[in-house]
Amino acid sequence: MTSAVIEPTVVAATSAAVRVVVADDHALVREGLTRVLERGGIEVEAVASTADGLLGLARAYRPDVVVTDLGQDGREAALELRRTNPEIALVVLSPEILPEFAVDLVEGSVRGVGYLLKEKVETPDLLVDAVRRVAAGGTVLDPDVISRLVRRGRPEGPLDRLTGKEREVLALMSQGRSNAGIAAQLFVTVPAVERHVTGIFTKLGLQRSGNLGHRRVLAVLTYLRGGGALT
């Protein structure tokens, strides 16, 4: 897979507008992001050029989503927002893949978070859809980010029990795909996906770990951690 593929999110015309704070240290990029988002029906409430400015604006405006790329300082600010203001969703746009940062970003919860490579955001619709998805509590991770996480050296763990097809299904689950979306991507039936999901839960020891949504979150966290222990 060579680009971030995000299952379309249908948003009703009467739904509340998504409010965003944009942060980037390049003025032209800030302006471009603002125009793209506003043309997509997103309300850009404020823009920041520094990490401190981002934190101040995010806490002042309490937006639905922060869209940011501010380098190392911006990554630290994003993690601080995840810790202190988890109700604010995040879309991090990055020029490179940083697996450790990605894991830190989703450590507490995979809900309301996106990590996309700038060079892979090829259309305005993709960015707008990512913002709407995380605002609704979804997860958007670039497939290359996921692949790097999986390739990290790790001891043998629960993920080693999965078949190749189950790993494909779990990778798509980590992008926030529904069973129907996974079926369409893999050209299989929804019941086939459901069987794979059941197999994933069984092999990861999640048969009795709360409701279906909770088990999906735990499965994705296990995937991103590279097979770490479940809690």
> Which residue type is seen at 97?
I
| Domain stops at, among 115, 148, 181 | 148
| Domain stops at, among 100, 127, 148 | 148
What is the predicted pLDDT for the residue at 1?
A: 34
In this structure, is residue 95 part of a structural domain? yes
Q: What is the pTM of this model?
A: 0.62
H runs (alpha helix) in 152-189: 164-173, 179-186
Residue 103: is its pLDDT beyond 70? Answer: yes
Same domain, 144 and 162: no
DSSP string, 6-66: -------TTSPPPEEEEEES-HHHHHHHHHHHHHTT-EEEEEESSHHHHHHHHHHH--SEE
Residue 149: is its pLDDT beyond 50? Answer: yes
Domain membership of residue 103 as a residue range: 19-148
- In terms of Cα–Cα distance, which of 118, 112, 116, 169 is closest to 141? 116
pLDDT digits 0-9 by tens, 199-215: 998 888 886 655 677 78
Question: What average pLDDT score do residues 63-80 get?
Answer: 89
| Domain stops at, among 148, 181, 215 | 148
- Confidence category of residue 32, pLDDT binned at 50, 70, 90: very high
Q: Is 147 helix (H, G, I), strand (E, B) or coil?
A: helix
The residues, ordered by sequence, that sit 6+ positions from 65 with a Cβ below 8 Å of its Cβ are 18, 19, 20, 21, 88, 89, 90, 91, 131, 134, 135
Same domain, 25 and 120: yes
Same domain, 140 and 39: yes
What is the predicted pLDDT for the residue at 210?
A: 57
Same domain, 96 and 161: no
d(Cα 38, Cα 61) in Å, to the nearest integer? 17
